[in-house]
Homo-oligomer: A and B are copies of this chain.
Amino acid sequence: MSDLPQTMAFAPHDHAHCAGSGLARAEQIAAERGVRLTPVRRRALEILLEAHRAMGAYEVLDRLAADGFGNQPPVAYRALDFLVEHGLAHRIRRLNAFAACTRPGEAHSPAFFICTGCSTVAEAPGAAIRAAMDEAAAALGFAVARTSIEAVGTCPACRGAAA
């Protein structure tokens, strides 16, 4: 299987801000929805935010276990599924991995760009892409619930390096 990504963006940015505001947003969203951001769930989100890259479920599990939570797969999958369901994290299917959402709360159909050179993943707003999908769906009479929009290719840095 391919290597997991190094970061969640191609450009430098205020990483500490991501993690801090991400957790705060999560608390807020959980409260709004009347769901519980329990310790495992909260810690799973922290792990994703701190790593700031896509992580496999078993990798998250290892860290949860190290923090005293259960060490069996369902522990990680349940926490991650919760995060995905509430828009706090995304599942990146080409990588069999999960990543904290960079825009929690905002309704969005994110697009992921995965570099085959350095394994970096970027999450980009996919509103325009989603609109195009909805149009194609409408032609079929299909009602879209959720989307997986992913691309593999070469990031700016790796394009430069290859030249």
For residue A140, CB closer than 8 A to chain B, the reply is: yes
Set of chain B residues within 8 Å of A140, measured between Cβ atoms: 10, 113, 122, 124, 155-156
For residue A71, CB closer than 8 A to chain B, the reply is: no
Partner of A149, one of B125, B143, B149: B149
Residues 125-150 of A at the B interface (beta carbon under 8 Å):
125-126, 128-129, 131-133, 135-137, 139-150
Number of this chain's copies in the complex: 2
What's the dominant secondary structure at chain A's contact region?
A: mixed
Set of chain B residues within 8 Å of A155, measured between Cβ atoms: 140-142
Q: Is the CB of B128 within 8 A of A142?
A: no
Q: Is the CB of B153 within 8 A of A137?
A: yes
Q: How far is the CA of A148 from the CA of B126 in the complex (A)?
A: 13
Q: Is the CB of B156 within 8 A of A145?
A: no
Set of chain B residues within 8 Å of A94, measured between Cβ atoms: 93, 148
Q: Is the CB of A113 within 8 A of B144?
A: yes
Q: How far is the CA of A93 from the CA of B149 in the complex (A)?
A: 11
Set of chain B residues within 8 Å of A78, measured between Cβ atoms: none
Q: How far is the CA of A116 from the CA of B139 in the complex (A)?
A: 18
> What distance in Å separates the Cβ of A34 from its nearest Cβ neighbour in chain B?
25
Set of chain B residues within 8 Å of A19, measured between Cβ atoms: none
Q: A147-B150, A149-B150 are in contact. List 12 more A-B contacts (CB 8 A).
A: A111-B133, A111-B136, A113-B136, A128-B136, A140-B156, A142-B151, A142-B153, A142-B155, A143-B153, A143-B159, A145-B154, A146-B151
